Amino acid sequence: DPRPGLIRVGPPATVVTVTAEAVAADVPVHVVGPVRSRSGFYASVASVLALPDWFGHNLDALADCLTDLAWLPAGPRMLVWVGPDRLGSADPDGYAALAQTLAQVAEQSADGSRPLTVVLVEE
């Protein structure tokens, strides 16, 4: 089973190999990206996780939603961010803030009913 937390992988690992492992472990996978802006990331994650209408498309709201996930069935889940290096090139500060928030949320989720593994798949 994937462990909660933030994991960075790169070639030869791909979104296909990462998601195949999660699916084999019966863990739902949600894929975001690639994106070149924070707003693009927020829109993508809101879509793939069906975030509530109150999601404010900012770091605090992202942390609140990912810490909760109560609208989804209990159990582990995986968020796969494809091509985070694209945002890292376009907006290094935004990338760093998102990666830090995702790491914190994933670590905090380890003991909850919806543990979250976040995988950054570099291209």
What per-residue confidence (pLDDT) applies to 31? 96
**pLDDT band, residue 112 (cuts 50/70/90):** confident
Question: Letter for the amino acid at 85?
Answer: D
Instruction: Kindly report, residue by residue over 69-99, the tens digit of the pLDDT.
Output: 999 999 999 999 999 999 999 999 999 999 9
Residue labelled with tokens 């996978």: 29
CA 61, 42, 118, 100 dihedral sign is negative
